[in-house]
A and B are shown apart, each in its own frame.
Chain A
């Protein structure tokens, strides 16, 4: 009856795997359902574009969406080139066991685990006070960039390391300079990983509350420049839910917007990565 036992074992395994998948999906759907249940009635085009009124109990989230995009924009514009540069340095210019590379990698791993509130305090001390940027979108974006960089660098580095050495060897055999090898051969191959890293970073940045309270501030007005204070979506949710009595419906509606944005960004990124790998095309330079 050997086969019989095996079948039972298989069934138990399959059941376990399916139930964990089910549990995860159920949890996600519950959260989503709960958000929709409480916030759906508040959602409208008007909600997306109008200013908050009565401390956010009424009105919409127009200026908050704008502030959020500006903060994220600053964060990514700063983090992308620095992150890519550092990742290329770590993957292509330092030997595996080189002390300097190990030091940087170790520091990044520690930084990736630092609580965001610590980044908030750091950002406040450096950008808001020492550099005199005050509570501003710029301070918030720069702080988020510091927070996102470790994740971005490590995932990008890994995607460079995942490229087989054949590619490097044949590029070298064709007499390609190091920069051509990196830009024309390795970067396109690492692009899906790079996108994945950016999405991880972007997701973390969009969901960030603690680091922004001390740096970009609370002001819910439409920002006029990067030096104005601006309220991010997550802070708006926090504020409505914790500090404003009767703010819950709008907090839920804002959360729906935030979660939808995250889902959309994820879908777009995986679509781009998919296109990239299936088309196998070098961008026209």
Chain B
């Protein structure tokens, strides 16, 4: 067992990783969930063709926290998530209006450098979406694409990222094998690792556990909890118990007359213990949704 190195903490300094340029993820040195606004949505509305899908969302997401977006299907949670890294641009006839800021950076301006934005905002989908290549190639592609690292440092970066998601010991001997041969949970963790190779500040997780069996789901959930403080995590989930277990903040979305709305948001404890909105309390107690 001597040759297995302990999983290092996230990259702390430039010195620890020769060849890596200044671009490092947000590192919270404070206890997490200091209410420092990271993402601000003001009157954010999303329309598909001429159909309003999400109406005037005002939401502040704090740096380094895990924010859960919960609510029934079709209430615009995923649309909201996809507007943060502008994947909504890929949906035909989808328009996003209002204001969306990451730090001071305006996301919705047409001149936004999308490749840069998506490097800072990683995203994981409900189904693991690995490319049909080897494990190693899946991780190398984004590293190569963004050209932040010298080629000699790739192996070290890949090892470190895989250790962060707890996959290194499971796959270190088969990095050259097809990624799609991994189990569902491993694939989802590999997707997370793939996003993390780019050192994003924000991770968007769209129901990352819903396609997994309970055990894999538990492992991925623990992994998400371990990201607290290092990344700003926004997770869409249908699983209220999961939101209760992992979230610092919760935003409840609801479809009223077929139009998605944010009905309540705040610290998880407040939402779960003393919800203000009657739909929220009905949803939480299981009477609705």
Q: Do A189 and B132 have beta carbons less than 8 Å apart?
A: yes
Instruction: With A95-B92, A175-B119, A175-B142 as known contacts, state yes or no: A280 contacts B134, CB within 8 Å.
Output: yes
**Are B132 and A173 in touch, CB under 8 angstroms?**
no
- Indicate if the CB atoms of A280 and B180 lie closer than 8 Å: yes
Is there a chain A Cβ closer than 8 Å to B122's Cβ?
yes
Give a binary string over A243-285; 1 marks a CB under 8 Å from any B CB, 0 the rest: 0000000000000000000000000000000000000111000
Q: Which one, B39-47, B61-69, B110-118, B150-158, is touching chain A?
A: B110-118
Q: Does A166 contact B (CB under 8 A)?
A: yes
**A35-73, CB under 8 A of B: which get 1 and which 0?**
000000000000000000000000000000000000000
B118, B122, B133 pick with most chain A CB within 10 angstroms:
B133
Most B C-beta atoms less than 10 A away, residue of A95, A170, A188, A281: A170
Provide the A166-179 mask, 1 if CB < 8 A to any CB of B, else 0: 11111111111100
Chain A hits for B141, CB < 8 A: 174, 176, 180, 184-185, 282
Contacts A174-B118, A174-B145; A188 near B85 (Cβ below 8 A)? no
Cross-chain contact B133 with A173 (CB below 8 angstroms): no
Are A281 and B137 in touch, CB under 8 angstroms? yes
Q: Tell me the smallest distance from the CB of A194 to a CB of chain B, in Å.
A: 15
The reply to whether B134 and A281 form a contact with Cβ atoms under 8 Å apart is yes
Complex contact B125–A170 (CB within 8 A): yes
Contact of A169 with B142 in the complex, beta carbons under 8 Å: no
Q: How far is the CA of A170 from the CA of B119 in the complex (A)?
A: 12
B90 within 8 A of A: yes
A87 to chain B, nearest CB (A): 20
> CA separation between A162 and B47, bound complex, in Å?
28
One of A170, A177, A188, A282 near B129 (C-beta < 8 A)? A170
Give the size of the chain B interface in residues (CB under 8 angstroms): 31
> By the criterion CB–CB under 8 Å, are A169 and B129 in contact?
yes
Q: Tell me if B87 counts as interface (CB < 8 A to partner A).
A: yes
A168 to B180, CA, bound (A): 17
**How far apart are the CA atoms of A172 and B198 in the complex, in Å?**
13
Residue in B122, B123, B127, B195 whose CB lies within 8 Å of A166:
B127
Q: Which residues of B contact A170 (CB under 8 A)?
A: 123, 125, 129-131, 191
Q: Out of B127, B137, B145, B191, name the residue touching A175 (CB < 8 Å).
A: B145
Q: Which of B119, B125, B127, B133 contacts A281 (CB 8 A)?
A: B133
Bound CA–CA A180/B118 (angstroms):
15
| B178 near A173: Cβ-Cβ < 8 Å | no
Chain B residue contacts of A180, Cβ below 8 A: 141, 145
**Chain A residue with Cβ nearest B130:** A170
Interface assignment of B160: CB less than 8 Å from any CB of chain A: no
Whether the Cβ atoms of B125 and A175 lie closer than 8 Å is no
The residue on A at minimum CB distance from B177 is A280
Nearest neighbor of A96 in chain B, beta-carbon distance: B92
| Contact between chains at B87 and A172 (CB < 8 Å) | yes
CB distance from B281 to the nearest CB of A (A): 35
A172 touches B129 (CB 8 A): no
Binary interface encoding of chain B residues 39-57 relative to chain A, with 1 for a CB under 8 A from any of its CBs, else 0: 0000000000000000000
Write out, one digit per residue, whether chain B residues 178-190 have a CB within 8 A of any chain A CB (1) or not (0): 1010000000000
Bound state CA distance, A56 and B146, in angstroms? 62
Cα A189 to Cα B129 with chains together (Å): 14
Q: Please name all residues of chain B whose beta carbon is closer than 8 Å to the beta carbon of A167 when the two chains form the complex.
A: 129, 131
Q: Smallest CB–CB gap between B49 and chain A, Å? A: 13
12 contacts between A and B (CB under 8 A): A166-B125, A166-B129, A170-B129, A170-B130, A171-B131, A173-B122, A173-B123, A175-B117, A175-B142, A176-B142, A176-B145, A281-B134
A-B complex: 8 closest residue pairs judged by Cβ atoms: A175-B118, A170-B129, A173-B123, A280-B178, A175-B115, A175-B119, A282-B133, A166-B129
